[in-house]
């Protein structure tokens, strides 16, 4: 800009010279014309005035501009956040900003010489041309500045020229940094980077230790960006992979999930911004095996590119999946048979029930029970029992293969089958019969001679209940209502009512046992020939708190369906032995105490030991104990019955065959059993008087028994005539109201005392 002003001045001078020449010329030629002379003079005067105005104005503008630039620069400098010094090389202008005063303690003062002041900041006394050049040329000029108070400040200067005015004066802006502060920032930075590196190291380490891979998917980019860890996990090479490369690793069955998610991500990545999303997939890992991986991801905008990026962590969850599968297995699969268990059946049933309501479909819910399973468990051991359950499961699975449907093991020996109801009412019966036929062929090993059968009960869904749970319960009721082995019953509402009553009674009975409400009554057994008391049958009664005496005919069948019978037998056995021994100790004539033993208890593996333990506890000789078994019980499993009976006999305990004649067995069959007493059922006595065929039967039985050295007793004898007939036929003993009703202990004791002196013979 400097040259512009030179031209201005040059033009001004030329103009002034020209004007002078014009005035001179006008003066020399004044004689020519007064008018021309006047015009020339006026022009010259005007030119001089105009030149003077021009010069003055240019100078003023220049001054104003200079001042405003200086003001602007000074203002700028004062507001700079770094320590700064504005100065001109003629030292006419020096501005120190507050920050620089703050660092050095040097402020603007009128008594300072500007040159010295600037020199103070740069640690230069003279501030000559060379110094100024050095300041301008040298970037990051490190200088020590000693303030008037004697304090030293290490400063680093960066100086740049801001402007040079028309007079050739250059203004400089020097920005300083406090070296001490800089050093502390540097060390802080170094510290920070060390910490950052450490934390990055920790991050990398934790990533490595936790086996977390990272996968980035960029919007519009066909490549995927796996982290090093992910590459190592999946055995990938390089830093990017393509979708087809990754697809090759995805487990075929999970491909649909993978593709759906990838498509969604690509097409509407924005939908994944914000919340975390998750996919679980099987992917082939570096070891060549398929592993379960979870990819937790969300989309975010990359601030640098403005594009959306999906990023997330990839974790191997195979172990967790295996645990889940194990939990599922434990929760829903029966461990013995590998079939679905009750929980699974309940889930499935509930879903189907909901479907029936919505779609108007119908199903059969069939519950099957392996007959006498507990006997097999007790006598052949649990391993054999489990094998039978597994065989049953095979049969059930074969069923659902041919009929369709769903099968489960719902408890001990209970299995359930759900079949679609296609309108044929005989479908459940046919299905169960098929199971029964197949089961019969499964007898092997120690079960080879056993007749394997199962019973069943069924209900229709949704007609027979208002929920699947109720329908299953009803099918179970139907099973328990079966009277004979191998029966199949359909649930009816009548059945339900009776079962409800029974289950109420069962609960009350359980409480009664706890409260010792069971008592024993004793009924005499008398020798027909002599009228002598030979034994007593212990008959249990339930002394209800209401005062009512409940007959065993009411509660024993219920107890036999549950575990309660075992508790009852234990009580009766112990009490009968104790009483018998007590009476012996009291000097009463020793009698044989008979105790009824139900099938469940008889087939206990250690029944003989239990009996002997009870006897020894009560110090009763085994010969004074007789157990009464029913014919139906013995027929359940003849070989096992024989084995158990032989053990008991060998221990010296007597065995009576109770209720003989009520079953269907032939006498020759029964003869295989080692019992000591045959106890004919009361029904023979009733018909004997009127029916000659019955008389003939009684006669033959007595004969055969005698030949086999088995004692005979007839129960239910009420009349002397009956007694006489039986005596005639060779019967040894009788039991019945004729000789005495069942009596409580006190009455029995009195009876025994009386019998010692008086005997009745008919
Ligand atoms: P049971 O073993 O055949 O017992 C004989 C039943 O016939 C008894 O009925 C007895 O009172 C009854 N009785 C005896 N003589 C006559 C008579 O002359 N006329 C008539 N009408 N009945 C007579 P109770 O005591 O009601 O017992 C019924 C059944 O309950 C018993 O039949 C037995 O099977 C069972 N029971 C009784 N106590 C026990 C027990 O402690 N354990 C087991 N497992 N069952 C028992
Ligand atoms: Mg009996
Ligand atoms: Mg009987």
Provide the CATH number for the domain around residue 598.
3.20.20.450
Provide the CATH number for the domain around residue 478.
3.30.70.270
Q: In whole angstroms, what is the distance from residue 680 CA to residue 659 CA?
A: 6
Same domain, 254 and 370: no
- Inter-residue contact 540 to 513 (CB < 8 Å): no
Q: Span 644-655, mean pLDDT?
A: 96
Q: Is residue 71 part of a domain?
A: no
Same domain, 684 and 556: yes
For residue 51, give the nearest of 18, 27, 84 by alpha carbon: 18
Beta-sheet pairing, 625-630 with 654-660: parallel
506, 522, 536, 580, 617 from 590: Cα distances, Å: 36, 14, 10, 8, 18
Same domain, 201 and 242: yes
Among all bound ligands, the one having the nearest atom to the CA of 556 is 1
Express each pLDDT in 681-692 by its tens digit: 998 898 888 888
Q: Is residue 329 part of a domain?
A: no
Question: 713 CA distance to ligand 3 centroid (A)?
Answer: 10
As a residue count, the chain comes to: 762
pLDDT surpassing 80 at residue 445: no
Question: 360 CA distance to ligand 1 centroid (A)?
Answer: 52
The string of DSSP codes covering 725-745 is HHHHHT--EEESTTT---B-H
For helices 493-514 and 564-585, angle between their N-to-C axes, nearest 10 degrees: 40
- Inter-residue contact 324 to 318 (CB < 8 Å): no
**Both tokens assigned to 688:** 């004997």
Q: Span 203-232, mean pLDDT?
A: 79
Q: Indicate the range of 18-32, 205-219, 402-416, 627-641 predicted with least confidence.
A: 18-32
More confident residue, 165 or 634: 165
| Ligand 1 atom 10 nearest Cα | 742
Q: In whole angstroms, what is the distance from residue 407 CA to residue 248 CA?
A: 38
Q: Is residue 611 part of a domain?
A: yes
Q: In whole angstroms, what is the distance from residue 559 CA to residue 571 CA?
A: 13
Q: What is the 3 state secondary structure string of 640-667?
A: HHHHHHHHHHHCCCEEEEEEECCCCCCH
Helix locations, 80-153, DSSP H? 98-104, 114-122, 129-137
Q: Is residue 331 part of a domain?
A: no
More confident residue, 626 or 239: 626
pLDDT cut 70: percent of the chain above it: 89
What is the extent of the structural domain holding 451? 338-491
More confident residue, 445 or 371: 371
Domain boundary, last residue among 491, 525, 555:
491
pLDDT surpassing 70 at residue 449: no
Neighbours of 70 (CB within 10 A): 19
Pocket, ligand 1, Cβ cutoff 6 A: 523, 539-540, 551-553, 556, 572, 596, 598, 628, 658-659, 682, 715-718, 735-737, 742
pLDDT surpassing 90 at residue 704: no
- The pLDDT, as a whole number, for residue 186 is 67
Q: In whole angstroms, what is the distance from residue 155 CA to residue 169 CA?
A: 26
Q: Is residue 760 part of a domain?
A: no
Provide the CATH number for the domain around residue 122.
3.30.450.20
Same domain, 264 and 151: no
More confident residue, 130 or 417: 417
The string of DSSP codes covering 52-71 is HHHHHHHHHHHHHHHHHHHH
| Ligand 1 atom 25 nearest Cα | 539
- The pLDDT, as a whole number, for residue 639 is 80
Neighbours of 451 (CB within 10 A): 14
Sheet with 363-370, strands from edge to edge, namely 406-411, 414-420, 363-370, 454-461, 488-490
Beta-sheet pairing, 170-178 with 212-218: unpaired
Question: 659 CA distance to ligand 2 centroid (A)?
Answer: 7
- The pLDDT, as a whole number, for residue 584 is 97
Same domain, 660 and 582: yes
Question: 741 CA distance to ligand 1 centroid (A)?
Answer: 10
Same domain, 48 and 90: no
| Ligand 1 atom 5 nearest Cα | 715
Q: Span 136-152, mean pLDDT?
A: 84
More confident residue, 731 or 99: 731
Among all bound ligands, the one having the nearest atom to the CA of 723 is 1
Same domain, 446 and 478: yes
**Both tokens assigned to 645:** 């009976």
pLDDT surpassing 90 at residue 394: yes
Question: 595 CA distance to ligand 1 centroid (A)?
Answer: 11
Probe target for ligand 1 pocket from 715, 722, 737, 739, with the most ligand atoms within 8 Å of CB: 715
pLDDT surpassing 60 at residue 166: yes
For helices 427-440 and 382-403, angle between their N-to-C axes, nearest 10 degrees: 140
- The pLDDT, as a whole number, for residue 337 is 93
Domain boundary, last residue among 439, 456, 491:
491
- The pLDDT, as a whole number, for residue 691 is 83
Same domain, 689 and 615: yes
Same domain, 157 and 195: no
For residue 607, give the nearest of 378, 347, 381 by alpha carbon: 378
Q: What are the residues facing 310 on neighbouring strands?
A: 217, 299
Same domain, 633 and 523: yes
Express each pLDDT in 340-350 by its tens digit: 999 889 989 99
Domain boundary, last residue among 427, 459, 491:
491
Helix, strand, coil percentages in the chain from 3-state DSSP, rounded to 5: 50, 20, 25
More confident residue, 141 or 525: 525
Q: Span 424-439, mean pLDDT?
A: 92
Express each pLDDT in 179-189 by its tens digit: 777 777 667 76
Q: In whole angstroms, what is the distance from residue 525 CA to residue 127 CA?
A: 145
Among all bound ligands, the one having the nearest atom to the CA of 659 is 3
Same domain, 349 and 487: yes
Q: Is residue 333 part of a domain?
A: no
- The pLDDT, as a whole number, for residue 629 is 93
Rg (CA), the chain: 59
Probe target for ligand 1 pocket from 523, 552, 574, 625, with the most ligand atoms within 8 Å of CB: 552
pLDDT surpassing 60 at residue 260: yes
pLDDT cut 90: percent of the chain above it: 38
pLDDT surpassing 60 at residue 473: yes
Most confident of 156-170, 195-209, 656-670: 156-170
Question: For all residues of the chain together, what is the average pLDDT?
Answer: 85
pLDDT surpassing 70 at residue 672: yes
Question: 148 CA distance to ligand 3 centroid (A)?
Answer: 131
Q: Is residue 448 part of a domain?
A: yes
Q: What are the residues facing 418 on neighbouring strands?
A: 365, 406
Q: How many folded domains does the chain comprise?
A: 5
Same domain, 231 and 354: no
- The pLDDT, as a whole number, for residue 105 is 87
Among all bound ligands, the one having the nearest atom to the CA of 626 is 2
Q: Span 176-180, mean pLDDT?
A: 82
Q: Span 416-437, mean pLDDT?
A: 93
| Ligand 1 atom 38 nearest Cα | 539
Q: Span 682-708, mean pLDDT?
A: 87
Question: 539 CA distance to ligand 1 centroid (A)?
Answer: 6
Q: Span 211-226, mean pLDDT?
A: 86
- The pLDDT, as a whole number, for residue 1 is 44
Express each pLDDT in 233-252 by its tens digit: 999 888 888 988 889 999 98
- The pLDDT, as a whole number, for residue 29 is 64
The string of DSSP codes covering 542-577 is EE-TTS-EE-HHHHHHHHHHSTHHHHHHHHHHHHHH
Q: By three-state DSSP, how is residue 235 classified?
A: coil
Q: What torsion do the CA atoms of 386, 391, 396, 401 make, to the nearest 10 degrees?
A: 140
Express each pLDDT in 25-68 by its tens digit: 766 665 556 777 777 777 777 877 877 777 677 667 667 766 77
Question: 145 CA distance to ligand 1 centroid (A)?
Answer: 125
pLDDT surpassing 90 at residue 430: yes
Q: Is residue 761 part of a domain?
A: no
């Amino acid at each position: 800009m400097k040259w512009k002003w030179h031209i201005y001045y040059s033009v001004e001078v030329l103009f002034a010279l020209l004007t002078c020449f014009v005035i001179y010329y006008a003066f020399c030629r004044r004689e020519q014309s007064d008018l021309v002379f006047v015009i020339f003079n006026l022009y010259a005067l005007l030119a001089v005035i105009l030149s003077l105005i021009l010069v003055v104005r240019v100078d003023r503008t220049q001054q104003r501009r200079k001042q405003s630039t200086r003001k602007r620069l000074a203002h700028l400098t004062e507001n700079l956040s770094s320590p700064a010094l504005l100065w001109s090389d003629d030292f006419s202008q020096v501005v120190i900003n507050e920050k620089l005063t703050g660092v050095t303690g040097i402020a603007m003062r009128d008594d300072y010489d500007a040159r010295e002041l600037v020199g103070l900041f740069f640690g230069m006394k003279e501030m000559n041309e060379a110094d100024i050049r050095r300041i301008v040329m040298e970037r990051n000029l490190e200088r020590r500045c000693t303030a008037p108070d004697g304090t030293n400040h290490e400063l680093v200067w960066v100086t740049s020229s801001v402007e040079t005015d028309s007079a050739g004066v250059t203004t400089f802006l020097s920005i300083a940094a406090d070296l001490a502060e800089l050093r502390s920032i540097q060390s802080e930075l170094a510290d920070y980077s060390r910490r950052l590196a450490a934390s990055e190291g920790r991050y990398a380490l934790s990533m490595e230790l936790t086996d977390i891979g990272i996968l980035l998917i960029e919007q519009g980019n066909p490549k995927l960006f796996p982290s090093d860890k992910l590459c190592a996990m999946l055995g990938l090479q390089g830093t990017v992979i393509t979708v087809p490369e990754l697809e090759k690793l995805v487990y075929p069955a999970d491909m649909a999930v993978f593709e759906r998610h990838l498509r969604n991500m690509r097409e509407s990545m924005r939908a994944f911004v914000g919340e975390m999303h998750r996919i679980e997939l099987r992917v082939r890992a570096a070891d060549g095996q398929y592993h379960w991986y979870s990819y937790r991801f969300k989309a975010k905008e990359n601030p640098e590119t403005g594009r959306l990026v999906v990023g997330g962590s990839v974790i191997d969850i195979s172990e967790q999946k295996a645990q889940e599968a194990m939990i599922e297995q434990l929760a829903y699969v029966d461990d013995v048979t590998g079939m679905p268990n009750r929980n699974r059946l309940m889930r499935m049933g509930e879903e189907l029930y909901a479907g029936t309501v919505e779609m108007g479909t119908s199903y059969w819910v069939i519950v099957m029970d392996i007959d006498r399973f507990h006997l097999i468990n007790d006598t052949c051991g649990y391993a054999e029992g489990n094998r039978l359950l597994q065989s049953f499961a095979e049969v059930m699975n074969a069923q659902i293969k041919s009929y369709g449907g769903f099968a489960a093991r719902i408890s001990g020996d209970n299995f359930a089958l759900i079949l679609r109801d296609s309108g044929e009412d005989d479908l459940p019966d046919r299905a169960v019969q098929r199971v029964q036929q197949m089961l019969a062929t499964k007898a092997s090993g120690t079960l080879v001679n056993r007749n394997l059968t199962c019973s069943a009960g069924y209900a229709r869904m949704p007609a027979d209940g208002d929920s699947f749970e109720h329908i299953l319960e009803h099918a179970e009721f139907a099973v328990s209502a079966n009277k004979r082995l191998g029966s199949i019953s359909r649930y009816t509402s009548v059945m339900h009512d009776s079962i409800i009553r029974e289950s109420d009674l069962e609960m009350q009975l359980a409480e009664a046992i706890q409260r010792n409400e069971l008592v024993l009554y004793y009924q005499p057994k008398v020798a027909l020939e002599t009228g002598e008391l030979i034994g007593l049958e212990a008959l249990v009664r339930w002394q209800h708190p209401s005062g009512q005496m409940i007959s065993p005919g009411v509660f024993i069948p219920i107890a036999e369906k549950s575990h309660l019978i075992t508790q009852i037998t234990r009580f009766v056995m112990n009490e009968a032995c104790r009483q018998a021994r007590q009476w012996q100790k009291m000097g009463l004539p020793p009698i044989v105490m008979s105790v009824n033993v139900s099938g469940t208890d008889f087939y206990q593996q250690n029944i003989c030991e239990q009996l002997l333990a009870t006897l020894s506890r009560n110090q009763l000789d085994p010969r004074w104990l007789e157990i009464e078994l029913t014919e139906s019980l013995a027929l359940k499993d003849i070989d096992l019955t024989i084995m158990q009976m032989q053990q008991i006999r060998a221990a010296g305990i007597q065995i009576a065959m109770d209720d003989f004649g009520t079953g269907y067995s032939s006498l020759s069959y029964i003869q295989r059993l080692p019992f000591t007493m045959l106890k004919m059922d009361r029904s023979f006595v009733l018909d004997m008087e009127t029916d000659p065929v019955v008389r003939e039967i009684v006669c033959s039985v007595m004969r055969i028994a005698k030949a086999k050295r088995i004692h005979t007793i007839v129960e239910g004898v009420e009349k002397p005539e009956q007694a006489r007939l039986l005596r005639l036929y060779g019967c040894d003993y009788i039991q019945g109201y004729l000789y005495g009703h069942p009596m409580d202990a006190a009455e029995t004791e009195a009876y025994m005392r009386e019998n010692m002196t008086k005997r009745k013979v008919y």
